Amino acid sequence: GIGMEYVYSDRVKNLGGNAIREIFKLLQDPEVISFAGGFPTKTTLPTELIADITNKLMTSDKAQDILQYGETEGYRPLRLASIDYVKRYGIENIDIDNTLIISGGQQGIDLTFKSFVNKGDVVLVEDPTYLASLHILKTYEGVPVGVKSGDNGLDIKDLEDKIIKYNPKVLYVVPTFSNPTGRTYSVENRKAIAELTAKYNVMVLEDDPYSELRFSGERVPSIKSFDKVGNVTYITSFSKTLAPGLRTGIAIGAKEVIRKMTIGKQATDVHTCSLSQAIIDYFLRNNSMDERLEELKAVYLEKKTAMLNAIKKYMPAEFRYTNPDGGLFIYGEFDESLGINTLEVFPELVKKYKVAYVSGYSFYAGENKFNTLRLNYSNASLEQIDDGICKMGKFFKELLAAKQ
Ligand code: PMP
């Protein structure tokens, strides 16, 4: 036939799509109840507030500056406001040159790997980890290696062994309400991670989009707050606290590292959308984030509780699952001996019962686990949560019965 033969770069030629992004295509059917993505509850997105702030900004004397090209490092007022904002994570003693406004946490991961990862370089990750970090790493031809973890965080012995064995460039972690497990590392674990990585000259990327969504338990300081040598880059995002469509987050790091990430960002998107940055800056200065968080958390806690109740009621007794203190996800598993492959059966569940989760298989750097799945509770309504888990329960009970 005629047509172009596309000869892709080595970097991308073997890349599959991000599993979750691909799932979204399956979920176009409006009847499907999705526990798959990590979308905030739609009704919590602050439309009136954003309309009001935008109107104020666009009728102010700063309007044209906001619509002009801006600095790559970010909108200065927001960078200054972020110095104050990150005190809530225990991050002190920084100035504006330690800050970079990023187009979502996702870009912070991208710019970090862009800055540090050569082809073949090892990046250590918790196993399982946020799957987009694996996807981004692949685009830089880095090699993810999983570190064992438990309820209190990373297995420090395994971390040290793997640092010695692989000489990794970066350790990537989501230490608070991790995606996908919902787990939170203890204070001691964070200190140990900061000390060990400093000792061996390993960069840490601390990805923290969820810690503000805490319903119960005590706040834990960031790993960054224990950073004595400048090896930890901390990123957070306004996606889960304000609105993901604004595509705005904050990176805090050593000045040299922030400078390198800035150079990378110049090539990527010049700067984060100035209107989004100005809206968030206005919000932080004139509204109460804490008040908004209280409202959000009430909604999410109610949904999490509804999902846990539905799981108890409808899922087979063999299903084990977490009860996170915050974040957006419940992680569940069937014992491997039961032979349930959550990836393989997924299309059937969507077709037959119109319910979706994310199979855990895609979250692993090491050996994939096909017996796990992640459930999001923020996207569906309370009725859908009950209905969807009921259908999922029926589906898995049928599967288990067929195996006996
Ligand atoms: N890191 C983690 C752990 C996430 O779960 C997400 C989004 N779900 C992101 C980063 C990226 O989010 P955003 O780019 O919207 O800030």
Atom of ligand 1 nearest to the CA of 207: 1
For the chain, the 3-state helix, strand and coil shares in percent, each to the nearest 5, are 45, 15, 40
Ligand 1 center from residue 244 Cα (angstroms):
9
Question: Measured from the CA of 244, which atom of ligand 1 is nearest?
Answer: 15
| Residue 120 alpha carbon to ligand 1 centre in Å | 25
Query: How far does residue 402's CA lie from ligand 1's centre (Å)?
Result: 38
Closest C-alpha among 123, 186, 195, 199 to residue 152 = 186
Angle at 18 between CA 14 and CA 19, to 5 degrees: 110
Question: Ligand 1: distance of its center to the CA of 207 in Å?
Answer: 8
Query: 24, 179, 377: which to mutate for ligand 1, most atoms within 8 A of CB?
Result: 179
Residue 341: both structure tokens together: 């492959």
CA dist., res. 312 & res. 89, Å (int): 34
The minimum-distance atom of ligand 1 relative to the CA of 237 is 16
Which residue, judged by its Cα, is nearest atom 8 of ligand 1?
A: 38
130, 247, 362, best to mutate for ligand 1 pocket (most atoms within 8 Å of CB)? 130
Contact 115, 257 (CB under 8 A): yes
Q: Measuring from each residue's beta carbon to the nearest atom of ligand 1, which residues come in under 6 Å?
A: 38, 104-106, 130, 174, 179, 207, 209, 237, 239, 244, 249
Q: pLDDT digit of tens for each residue in the chain (404 aa)?
A: 678 888 898 888 878 766 666 666 767 788 999 999 899 999 999 999 999 999 999 999 999 999 999 999 999 999 999 999 999 999 999 999 999 999 999 999 999 999 999 999 999 999 999 999 999 999 999 999 999 999 999 999 999 999 999 999 999 999 999 999 999 999 999 999 999 999 999 999 999 999 999 999 999 999 999 999 999 999 999 999 999 999 999 999 999 999 999 999 999 999 999 999 999 999 999 998 999 999 999 999 999 999 999 999 999 999 999 999 999 999 999 999 999 999 999 989 998 999 999 999 889 998 888 999 999 999 999 999 999 999 999 999 999 999 87
Q: Give the strand order in the sheet containing 122-126.
A: 99-102, 249-252, 232-237, 203-207, 170-173, 122-126, 143-147
**Residue in 102, 239, 379 to alter for ligand 1 test, most ligand atoms within 8 A of Cβ:** 239
Q: Please give the Cα distance from 54 to 390 (Å, whole number).
A: 42
CA–centroid distance, 309 to ligand 1, in Å, is 27
- Amino acid identity of 350? V
Residue 19: per-residue pLDDT: 62
How many C-beta atoms lie closer than 10 Å to residue 299's C-beta? 15
Q: Please give the distance, rounded to the nearest whole angstrom, from the Cα atom of residue 106 to the centre of ligand 1.
A: 6
Rounded to the nearest angstrom, the distance between the alpha carbon of 50 and the centre of ligand 1 is: 21
Query: What integer pLDDT is reported at residue 18 of this predicted model?
Result: 65
Q: Identify the pLDDT of residue 37.
A: 87
What is the structure's pLDDT at 22? 63
Q: Which of 109, 207, 329 to mutate to test the pocket of ligand 1 (most atoms within 8 A of CB)?
A: 207
- Partners of 250 in beta bridges: 101, 236
- Ligand 1 centroid to Cα of residue 167, in Å, is 27
CA 91 from chain centre, in angstroms, equals 20
| Dist. CA 154–CA 68, nearest whole Å | 45
